[in-house]
Amino acid sequence: MASLNGEIRSAIAEYITSHKDKVREKAEEALAEIEREAEAKRAAIAALFGEACADAASHMESGVAPSPGVDPMNRRLAGTGKAS
């Protein structure tokens, strides 16, 4: 006779295995939607402020940080007015 805990674990493992493809598909759909939204935002920024600003926004989304103390929108040292 199997223990109740063992039966529960077995049922959970079987459920996860049988639904793995569905979860993966939903995750891929969610990632695709995130990418579409990001592209729409980049396009809106480019339309409002031009390509240079859109490029800066793209770098921010990618996790590439600007140099410390530099304003990424105009590449000047923050608070000094001097070009970097």
Tokens 């109740």 appear where? 4
Task: Tell me how far apart the alpha carbons of residues 83 and 80 are, in angstroms, rounded to a whole number.
Answer: 9
Domain ranges of the chain: 4-77
Averaged pLDDT for residues 68-76: 54
The length of the chain is 84
Confidence label for 26 from pLDDT (cuts 50, 70 and 90): very high
Structure tokens given for 24: 């993966």
State the first-to-last Cα distance of the chain, in angstroms, to the nearest integer. 74
Q: Has residue 69 got a pLDDT over 80?
A: no
Nearest to 10 by CA among 18, 24, 22, 25: 18
Task: Tell me how far apart the alpha carbons of residues 32 and 63 are, in angstroms, rounded to a whole number.
Answer: 19
Confidence label for 9 from pLDDT (cuts 50, 70 and 90): very high
